[in-house]
Amino acid sequence: MNIWLRAGEKLYINGAVIRVDRKVCIELLNDATFLLEAHVMKVEDASTPLRQLYFIIQIMLINPNDSAAAREMFKKSVQSTIDVAENAALVTGLRSVKSLVDNNRVFDALKAVRALFPVEAEILSGGKNSTPTQAA
């Protein structure tokens, strides 16, 4: 797998943080857990239940050798979110995310949570889509 990075970008691989000083292509020759800087969420951005789940899963990816506490936090958080969610698509998505983490497919779980952000945004806005045609 080839990963292209721009100067100054970071790459998180198996708990290590790599910053490059120029545009490079890194070729991973074996299985590795990695996360691109563009997909890393800052703690202050984890302001909704799904963003908090994303942050927890991100911790599992960034530091795979020390993720027991994050996994426990994930289990509690995902279950409590499922318990209170009323949106069927959200509940189905969260169950899928839980299954992915349970099967150690943490990167896929991260992508699945990110895909649920629009559902959460619609719920938090009261089901109102803010498209220009509706505003007119």
pLDDT digits (tens, 9 = 90+) for 9-50: 999 888 788 999 999 999 989 887 788 888 899 999 999 999
Domain of 113?
A: 41-124
The whole-number pLDDT of residue 129 equals 54
Quote the CA–CA distance of 48 and 92 in Å, as a whole number: 18
Tokens of 86: 């009323």
Parallel/antiparallel/unpaired status of strands 2-5 and 16-19: unpaired
Partnered with residue 16 across adjacent β-strands are 13
C-beta of residue 77 within 8 angstroms of C-beta of residue 56:
yes
DSSP state of 14: T
**pTM of the entire predicted model:** 0.81
**Which pLDDT band holds residue 132 (cuts at 50, 70, 90)?**
very low
Same domain, 30 and 65: no
Angle at 58 between CA 1 and CA 114, to 5 degrees: 85
Least confident stretch, 44-48, 67-71, 127-131: 127-131
Same domain, 58 and 86: yes
C-beta of residue 42 within 8 angstroms of C-beta of residue 16:
no
Same domain, 21 and 47: no
DSSP state of 12: E
